[in-house]
Amino acid sequence: MSPTHPDTFYAQTKCAAEQIVLNARGADGQLLGTVLRLGAVYGSRIKGNYERMVRILARRRFIPVGDGRNRRTLIYDKDVVKAVALAIEHPAAAGCVYNVTDGSFHTLNEIISAICEALDHKPPRFSLPVASACFVAGIIENAARLCGCRSPITRATIDKYTEDIAVESNSIQKELGFVPQYTLDAGWRETIKEMRESGLL
C-alpha cells in the first residue's frame, strides 16, 4: 500500500485517527485495531455527490462534464458490512490497513450507465467540455460571492467530479478472503429499488 500524503486538515486528522487505531493494544500487548479505507460507499441511504447524481439522473436533467473516463472505486454498503465483520473476526486483521472496494475500477461513464440502467433510463447523450464547465462555474461562483449567497456549483465541484480516484483492494481479498457480493450493476439496481420502495426517490 502506498504511503499517505495528507494535504488537508481533514486528511491529516483521518491519518491521525488511523494511527490511534493501529497503536491500540490489549492488556496482553496484542494489537487490536484494523483500519478499513472504504471506497465511495453507496446504497439506499446514500448521501453527498452520488445522491445528488442519482436524483438529477432520475429527473433526466444530468449533463456530464468531461469525457467520463476518469476512474472511481466504489463499494456497496452491504458489502461494507461483510468487510467489517470479517475484519473483526479474522485473527490476521489486527494492526493492518485495508482498502475496501468491489474489486474493480469503474469509469464515471460506467457508473452513470449503471445508475441509468437501474432507473430504466438511457444515459445522457451529451456532455460539457471541462474547460467550458469550469468557466461557467467560475462566473456563477463569483456572482454568488458578490451577492453574499452560496453558489450552487463551484470550480472545486468540477475538479472533484472529473478527478481520477482508483485504489487497489487486493490485500483484503488475499489476506482475509473478502469477496464482494455485489457488482456495480447489481449494487445500483438494489440501491434504486430500495430508494423507490422507501420513498427516497
The region of weakest confidence among 5-9, 26-30, 68-72 is 5-9
Q: Which CATH architecture has domain 9-196?
A: 3-Layer(aba) Sandwich (3.40)
The rounded percent of the chain whose pLDDT value lies above 70 is 99
The rounded percent of the chain whose pLDDT value lies above 90 is 84
Please give the span between the terminal C-alpha atoms of the chain, in angstroms, as a whole number: 38
pLDDT(52) > 80: yes
pLDDT tens per residue across span 90-125: 999 999 999 999 999 999 999 999 999 999 999 999
pLDDT band at residue 11 using 50, 70 and 90 as cut-offs = confident
| pLDDT given for residue 4 in this prediction | 75
pTM reported for the whole predicted model: 0.89
pLDDT tens per residue across span 15-27: 999 999 999 999 9
Domain boundaries defined on the chain = 9-196
Q: Are 54 and 42 in contact (CB under 8 A)?
A: no
pLDDT tens per residue across span 81-90: 999 999 999 9
d(CA 71, CA 69): 6
| pLDDT given for residue 1 in this prediction | 65
